């Protein structure tokens, strides 16, 4: 017989309410993805923090709480946006390829080779070029990258 899975709410001990009470609301209300990034965070407490006045530490705590609160609002606002640009662009580009070029090929499966400048040390243009190969989907998305 396998042990029954328990939810965090089932694991309440005598200190549960006390621990829950000291966790800032911003942390309690943040997304699981954000909390996951905190697991690996290894940020030492700055040396100046120990010398700061209690009033300044309280003010910093208020600022951090407000930052987390606003981050939660932003996360909820942007939560439904697709994070994968390929998943967003591919359904837009594939039908255009099919209608304009009468092909069943996918933008992700077609490749394109372009000659691009090959400057020396990133700034000196010596007129040389190199070949850059990418999928048609990557090339289309490249048009929207910042220069």
Looking up tokens 């304009």 gives 100
Q: Average pLDDT of each block of 10 consecutive residues along the chain (147 residues)?
A: 53 84 80 79 87 95 88 82 81 92 90 80 72 88 78
The DSSP line for the chain is: -PPPP--GGGG--TTHHHHHHHS-HHHHTS-HHHHHHHHT---PPPHHHHHS-HHHHHHHHHHHHHHHHHHHHHHHHHTTS-S-HHHHHHHHHHHHHHHHH-----TTT-EEEEEEE--BTTTB--S-EEEEEEEHHHHHHHTTS--
Look up the pTM and report it.
0.44
pLDDT digits (tens, 9 = 90+) for 88-118: 889 999 999 999 999 889 999 999 888 877 7
């Amino acid at each position: 017989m396998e042990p029954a899975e328990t939810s965090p709410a089932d694991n309440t001990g005598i200190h549960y309410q006390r621990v829950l009470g000291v966790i800032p609301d911003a942390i309690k209300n943040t997304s699981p993805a954000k909390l996951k990034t905190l697991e690996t965070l290894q940020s030492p407490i700055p040396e100046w923090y120990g010398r700061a006045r209690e009033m300044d530490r309280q003010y910093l705590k208020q600022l951090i709480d407000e930052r987390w609160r606003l981050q939660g609002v932003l996360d909820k606002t942007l939560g439904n946006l697709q994070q994968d640009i390929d998943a967003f662009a591919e359904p837009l580009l594939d039908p255009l390829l099919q209608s304009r070029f009468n092909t069943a090929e996918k933008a992700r499966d077609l490749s394109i080779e372009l000659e691009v400048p090959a400057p020396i040390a990133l700034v000196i243009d010596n007129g040389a070029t190199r070949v850059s190969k990418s999928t048609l989907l990557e090339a289309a998305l490249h048009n929207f990258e910042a220069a």
